[in-house]
C-alpha cells in the first residue's frame, strides 16, 4: 500500500541540522536528568553528518542516541541500510535464516496463527523462512522503505504496508487484524519504542501474541562502537536509537496490557539479544504509567 504522505516541513532555519533534533537533557524513558555519555564516536562518511552520541540514564539504565535523528535523518538511514541481497550467499545470511526458523518455531506452543504481521520486515526474509514452520499462516509485512513492495512482488508476503506502525492511518487500517505481530531487531530503531508497542497491541486481536527480539544493552557488541570505532563496516548495520534494559521493557509491556509469557536470551550473531513472547490481554492489567514525551519538542 502507498505510504501515508507527510506534511511538508517547510524551509529550514539557517544553520539548522536537518538530520538531528536538539539534544535532550532528560531520559526519554523515565524523565530523569541523571544522564551520562556512554559512547561518543564520529559519524562515518555514508552517515548523516555530525557525531554519534549514546547517553545512558543513571536511574533506569535506558540508553539512547542523543541527539536523535529527525524523521528525514531516519529515513536516510533506512535507505542506506544494505539490501540484504547477500542473505542466502554468505555465512551471516545463512545463520540469520536459520535463526528466523528457530524464532518462528518459538510460536509453535501457541494456537496456530491465521494472520501474522512482521514489522520492519525489509525484504521479507523472516516471513519467507517462517512460512516453512507455519505453512497455513498468512504473512503480511510492514516497513518504512519500498523494500516491502519488493517482498510482496517476490511472493514472500501477502500484503505490503509501507510506512510506520505508529502512523494513525496504518493503525486504523490494521486494527485487531493479527494473531501474531513480530519485531526482529526493530524496536531499538524506532523513535518511540513505547508508541510502537502500543501500536502493535492495537494491531493484535485480543489474545494475539507479540514476538520481539531486541539487543541486550549489557552486550551491545556490533550495536555500539567499541573504543570509538565501529566493529562492523560502516554501511552494514543501522544504528539503534534506544537500548532498553529487559526489566524496563517487561514492565512497559505489562503496563500496556500485555501478559509476558516467555523471555530468553538468543544470539544468532552479535549482539546478544532477548526474545520476548507476550500475549495481548483482553483488558490492560493496570493503568498505563505516565508517558514521558518522546522528544525534546513533546509527543
Ligand atoms: Zn531513565
CATH number of the domain enclosing 198? 3.40.50.150
Is 21 among the domain residues? no
Ligand 1 centre distance from Cα of residue 28 (Å): 7
**Residue whose C-alpha cell is 541481497:** 85
Distance (angstroms) between ligand 1 centre and the Cα of 102 equals 33
**Ligand 1 ion: nearby residues, β-carbon < 5 Å:** 27, 29-30, 32, 57, 59-60, 62
Mean pLDDT in residue range 33-56: 76
pLDDT tens-digit readout, 160-191: 999 999 999 999 999 999 999 999 989 998 98
Distance in Å, CA 110 to ligand 1 centroid: 34
CA of 123 to the centre of ligand 1 (A): 34
Whole-number Å distance, alpha carbon 297 to ligand 1 midpoint, is 18
Ligand 1 centroid from CA 298, angstroms: 16
> What's the average model confidence in pLDDT over 210-230?
72
Q: What's the confidence (pLDDT) of residue 16?
A: 61
CB within 8 A of 172, min separation 6: which ones?
A: none
- Does any domain span residue 111? yes
pLDDT of residue 282: 73
Q: Is residue 8 part of a domain?
A: no
For residues 112 and 136, give the distance between their C-alpha atoms in angstroms, rounded to a whole number.
Answer: 8
Domain that holds residue 228: 91-280
User: Considering the domain boundaries, does residue 85 fall inside one?
Assistant: no
pLDDT band at 228 (very low <50, low <70, confident <90, very high): low
Split into its structural domains, the chain has a count of 1
Question: Strands, E, within the chain: which ranges?
Answer: 35-42, 51-57, 63-65, 115-119, 138-143, 159-162, 178-184, 204-215, 242-243, 258-266, 273-280
In a domain, 44, yes or no: no
CA of 58 to the centre of ligand 1 (A): 7
Whether 146 is covered by a domain: the verdict is: yes
Ligand 1 centroid to Cα of residue 236, in Å, is: 29
> CA 212, CA 187: separation in Å to the nearest integer?
8
Residue 80 falls inside a structural domain: no
* Sole residue written with cell 565501529: 230
Asked whether the CA dihedral 59, 184, 94, 224 is positive or negative, the reply is negative
Q: Does 227 fall in a domain?
A: yes
Q: Whose grid coordinates read 485487531?
A: 176
Amino acid at each position: 500500500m502507498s505510504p501515508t504522505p507527510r506534511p511538508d516541513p517547510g524551509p529550514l532555519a539557517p544553520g539548522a541540522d536537518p538530520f538531528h533534533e536538539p539534544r535532550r537533557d532528560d531520559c526519554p524513558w523515565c524523565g530523569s536528568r541523571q544522564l551520562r555519555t556512554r559512547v561518543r564516536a564520529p559519524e562515518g562518511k555514508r552517515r548523516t553528518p555530525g557525531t554519534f552520541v549514546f547517553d545512558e540514564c543513571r536511574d533506569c539504565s535506558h540508553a539512547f542516541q542523543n541527539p536523535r535523528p529527525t524523521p528525514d535523518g531516519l529515513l536516510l538511514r533506512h535507505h542506506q541500510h544494505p539490501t540484504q541481497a547477500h542473505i542466502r550467499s554468505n555465512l551471516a545470511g545463512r545463520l540469520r535464516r536459520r535463526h528466523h526458523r528457530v524464532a518462528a518455531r518459538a510460536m509453535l506452543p501457541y494456537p496456530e496463527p491465521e494472520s501474522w504481521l512482521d514489522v520492519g520486515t525489509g525484504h521479507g526474509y523472516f516471513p519467507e523462512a517462517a512460512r516453512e514452520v507455519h505453512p497455513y499462516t498468512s504473512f503480511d509485512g510492514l516497513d518504512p522503505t519500498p523494500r516491502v513492495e519488493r517482498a510482496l512482488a517476490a511472493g514472500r508476503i501477502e500484503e505490503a504496508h509501507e510506512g510506520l506502525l505508529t502512523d494513525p492511518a496504518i493503525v486504523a487500517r490494521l486494527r485487531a487484524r493479527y494473531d501474531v505481530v513480530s519485531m526482529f531487531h526493530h524496536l531499538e530503531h524506532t523513535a518511540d519504542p513505547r508508541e510502537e508497542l502500543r501500536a502493535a497491541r492495537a494491531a493484535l486481536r485480543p489474545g494475539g501474541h507479540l514476538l520481539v527480539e531486541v539487543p541486550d544493552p549489557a552486550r551491545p557488541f556490533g550495536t555500539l562502537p567499541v573504543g570509538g570505532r565501529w566493529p562492523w563496516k560502516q554501511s552494514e548495520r543501522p544504528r539503534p536509537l534506544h537500548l532498553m534494559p529487559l526489566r524496563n521493557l517487561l514492565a512497559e509491556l505489562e503496563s500496556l496490557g500485555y501478559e509476558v509469557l516467555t523471555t530468553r536470551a538468543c544470539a544468532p550473531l552479535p549482539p546478544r539479544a532477548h526474545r520476548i513472547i507476550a500475549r495481548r490481554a483482553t483488558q490492560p492489567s493496570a493503568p498505563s504509567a505516565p508517558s514521558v514525551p518522546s522528544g525534546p519538542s513533546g509527543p
